[in-house]
Structures are given as C-alpha cells and as structure tokens.
Amino acid sequence: MPRRGYQFENQIQKVCDYVEAIGGHAHKNYAERLQDGTYIKGEPFDYEIFLPNYKAVFDAKECKTRKWHMVDKDIKQCDEMKKCKNAGFKAYFLICFEGNDVRMIDVDTVITTLKHGSKTISAEGNPSWDLIKILGGTQK
C-alpha cells in the first residue's frame, strides 16, 4: 500500500519537473531537522514556483472529505504565504479533496474564512488546479 499522499506528491512533482523543463524553477521546502532527523522547525509552506509570468508559493494538504478543516499550523502558514502574496506572488493552499479533486484556495479566501469565525472551507467554489495546462503545456 503506498504511503499517504504519495500520488498527490507525485502529481505536484510532475508540475515541478515541467516548470524546470521550460526554464523556470520549482522546489519543495522541507522542515528543518538535526542530522539524526529530530524536528527543529517547520517550513513556512511546501512549494515555490518561479517563472517570468507565474510566481507562486503554496502548501499542499489532503482531505478525506469535501471540506478542509484548518489547524493552527495551517494558520501560521497562511501568515507566511500572505507576505508572499503582498510581494506579488500567487499564494494558496493546494487541497486534494476526496477522490483526487485538487483545488486551489487562495490565501485571501482563507483569511476571510478565519475572520468570519470558521476554520472550514469546502471544495466547491474553489478553482481546480492544473498548472501545466494553465502554463500552456500538456500533461503526459
């Protein structure tokens, strides 16, 4: 049985590989750890993509339902991504809802939801994520 999130991570890695192949840069951030693997500090968000016409940061999450329930770590990551959005980047949470339905939830949508006293966002009403197609390529 493949480890949790493996297919989703592979899908994101294909996008990162595509970005690199067309001359951009994309990478996954990792938590800071000691040499023995002891956790020190988490990453501000999971991924960064840099192209002349598309600069983005995002954090990837998986849900077993059609609703994403935020935890404190997500809220801290939202703060970090908002700084990037303020600097002109696209900043979003990339959520893989049940059935491999991948949606982008903009950081401002998350902030608005939190301001209304909720920590839950539904898949419905948020755009699907197919960055290769968005960038004008075709998926293999």
**Domain membership of residue 44 as a residue range:** 6-134
Give the chain's domain count: 1
Q: How far apart are CA 112 and CA 101, in angstroms?
A: 23
In a domain, 139, yes or no: no
Entry pTM: 0.86
For residue 5, the model assigns a pLDDT of 56
Q: How far apart are CA 66 and CA 79, in angstroms?
A: 24
In a domain, 140, yes or no: no
In a domain, 1, yes or no: no
CA angle 12, 73, 62 (to 5 degrees): 35
In a domain, 34, yes or no: yes
In a domain, 33, yes or no: yes
In a domain, 60, yes or no: yes
For residue 4, the model assigns a pLDDT of 52
pLDDT tens digit sequence for 35-80:
887 777 778 899 999 999 999 999 999 999 999 999 988 998 999 9
Tokens of 98: 């049940």
In a domain, 112, yes or no: yes
Q: Are strands 67-69 and 54-62 parallel, antiparallel or unpaired?
A: unpaired
